[in-house]
């Protein structure tokens, strides 16, 4: 049996593929469109004997998805592919609605058609793991209890609204078509290979280059940081042992204010690269993001109790290791920042 992964060239998807290939010989197939955020460099260090295949393509292409399902007859599909950056969704929501909503619907449609025509049992023979976000639950006040399974949907950004719509489609496919779906809501991930537009890699890449570090508004917004390897371990547990139709919350016990986080990154950079110290001199307060959610926090106790999963990375250690990874991979950052990687993708796959 194989597993089909969408968005496996992105940040979390590629971490999932790496972890998968280091643990098992079970084949894994990545379907990825290589948008600006997809990066084949993320998969270039897989072991030579890894049973991984990359397919360039769009989740919205039902014919392609059905052909892949027929060819590989995977036991599961893990759905990471999405437009993911809140700031981009504020500038234009089109790609978010198209990929996150219509793309998820196209995948669900292709899966149920494949299962119906191939005689496979939708309830027992196949699992659809949908990777969602805690942002669908909106923003918490400082004293409010963390998000939990029964938290109401209150998406505030176009990105969060598009993910919420996708969640509802996944739920509907479970109830109406009997598809064995699993939905996860994780908090902000960090770690190696994250596109340098999200806060942590952006700060590190800019600080390494001696550029200013932009902090939105007062910098007192809180995120619950989750190391990407902990996230992928939770996803494997949900995939293997989760209950169809259920939702799982995945957090890092890592609540931190943005300003504190940025200072911690600067300290880690000072330790690793004393010649650039103090990196905190680069911090600048800039105009706030419209509709900026104040606080996210996750109560992952139901996931821990049901699946025995807990995060292993402590935030400060994880941040230090993450800073180290970006310092050790200057070419990875440079190829993105210079546009060389985007030019290569265009040459290989067209505009
Ligand atoms: P990412 O932006 O790094 O990668 C997204 C990947 O999807 C890219 O490889 C891109 O090429 C691919 N893709 C985009 N549109 C596609 C399409 N139409 N067809 C095929 N492939 C397409 O994203 P990420 O940070 O790895 O996030 C993965 C998933 O996790 C997303 O669904 C996101 O909503 C969710 N999530 C992420 C975070 C986080 O902190 N990064 C937090 C919560 C939830
Ligand atoms: P981000 O990494 O974009 O993730 P999300 O919006 O999904 O939480 O942002 C994390 C936090 O950092 C969020 O509160 C916005 C803030 N932020 C900045 O202060 N400066 C920046 O340059 C960016 C990209 C984000």
pLDDT in tens, 111-165: 999 999 998 887 888 999 999 999 999 999 999 999 999 999 999 999 999 999 9
Ligand 2 lined by 189 (C-beta under 6 Å): no
Q: Which of 35, 54, 86 to mutate to test the pocket of ligand 1 (most atoms within 8 A of CB)?
A: 35
- Going by CA atoms, what residue is nearest to atom 6 of ligand 2? 86
Percent of the chain scoring above 90 in pLDDT = 97
Average of pLDDT values for 205-233? 98
Q: What is the pLDDT of residue 124?
A: 87
d(CA 93, CA 87): 10
**3-class DSSP state of 329:** coil
User: Tell me: the pLDDT tens digits for 237-294?
Assistant: 999 999 999 999 999 999 999 999 999 999 999 999 999 999 999 999 999 999 999 9
- Residues having CB within 6 Å of any atom of ligand 1: 6-7, 9-13, 31-35, 37-38, 58-60, 80-82, 84, 99, 103, 131, 133, 163, 186, 188-189, 195
Atom of ligand 1 nearest to the CA of 135: 43
**3-class DSSP state of 260:** helix
Atom of ligand 2 nearest to the CA of 199: 2
Q: What is the pLDDT of residue 213?
A: 98
351 pLDDT band, cuts 50/70/90, is confident
d(CA 18, CA 91): 33
CA gyration radius, the chain: 20
Domains plus CATH for the chain? 3-193+225-253+297-314+338-349 (3.40.50.720)
Q: Which of 82, 161, 188 to mutate to test the pocket of ligand 1 (most atoms within 8 A of CB)?
A: 82
87-109 burial: b if 16+ Cβ within 10 Å, else e: ebbeeebeebbebbbbbbbbbbb
Q: How far is the CA of 225 from the centre of ligand 1 (A)?
A: 17
- Going by CA atoms, what residue is nearest to atom 44 of ligand 1? 133
Measured CA distances, 233 to 43, 226, 228 (Å)? 18, 11, 9
Residue with tokens 């969704």: 89
Average of pLDDT values for 66-88? 98
Q: CB neighbours (10 Å) of residue 313?
A: 22
Q: What is the pLDDT of residue 120?
A: 87
Q: What is the pLDDT of residue 249?
A: 98
User: Residue 167 is encoded by which pair of tokens?
Assistant: 């969640």
**3-class DSSP state of 79:** strand
Ligand 2 lined by 221 (C-beta under 6 Å): yes
d(CA 249, CA 235): 10
Residue of 3, 17, 4, 6 lying closest to 192 (CA atoms): 17
Q: How far is the CA of 135 from the centre of ligand 2 (A)?
A: 12
DSSP percent split of the chain into helix, strand, coil, nearest 5: 50, 15, 35
Q: List all residues 6 or more positions away from 175 whose beta carbon is below 8 Å from its beta carbon.
A: 245
- Number of the ligand closest to the Cα of 104: 1
- Going by CA atoms, what residue is nearest to atom 5 of ligand 2? 86
Q: What is the pLDDT of residue 121?
A: 84
d(CA 308, CA 288): 39
- Number of the ligand closest to the Cα of 30: 1
**3-class DSSP state of 247:** strand
- Number of the ligand closest to the Cα of 252: 1
């Amino acid at each position: 049996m194989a597993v089909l992964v969408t968005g496996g060239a992105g940040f979390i998807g590629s971490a999932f593929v790496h972890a998968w290939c280091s643990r098992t010989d079970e084949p894994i197939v990545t379907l990825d469109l290589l948008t600006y955020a997809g990066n084949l460099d993320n998969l270039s260090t897989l072991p030579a004997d890894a049973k991984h295949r990359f397919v360039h393509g769009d989740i919205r292409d039902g014919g392609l998805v059905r052909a892949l399902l027929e060819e590989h007859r995977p036991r599961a599909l893990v759905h990471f592919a999405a437009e993911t950056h809140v700031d981009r969704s504020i500038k234009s929501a089109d790609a978010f609605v198209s990929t996150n909503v219509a793309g998820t619907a196209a995948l669900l449609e292709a899966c149920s058609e494949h299962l119906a025509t191939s005689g496979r049992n939708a309830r027992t023979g196949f699992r659809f793991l949908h990777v969602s976000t805690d942002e669908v639950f909106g923003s918490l006040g400082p004293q409010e209890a963390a998000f939990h399974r029964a938290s109401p949907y209150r998406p505030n950004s176009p990105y969060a609204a598009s993910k919420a719509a996708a969640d509802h489609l996944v739920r509907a496919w479970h109830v109406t078509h009997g598809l064995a779906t699993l939905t996860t809501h994780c908090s902000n991930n960090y770690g190696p290979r994250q596109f340098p537009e999200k806060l942590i890699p952006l700060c590190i890449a800019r600080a390494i280059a001696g550029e200013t570090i932009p902090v939105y508004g007062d910098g007192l917004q809180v995120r619950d940081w989750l190391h990407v390897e902990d996230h992928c371990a939770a996803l494997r547990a949900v995939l293997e042992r989760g209950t169809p139709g259920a939702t799982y919350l995945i957090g890092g016990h890592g609540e931190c204010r943005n300003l504190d986080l940025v200072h911690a990154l600067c300290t880690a950079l000072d330790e690793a690269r004393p010649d650039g110290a103090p990196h905190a001199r680069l911090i600048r307060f800039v105009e706030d993001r419209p509709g900026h959610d104040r606080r996210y926090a996750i109560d992952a106790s139901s996931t821990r109790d049901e699946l025995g999963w807990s995060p292993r990375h402590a935030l400060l250690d994880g941040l230090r290791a993450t800073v180290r990874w970006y310092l050790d991979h200057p070419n990875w950052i440079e190829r993105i920042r210079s546009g060389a990687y985007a030019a290569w993708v265009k040459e290989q796959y067209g505009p």
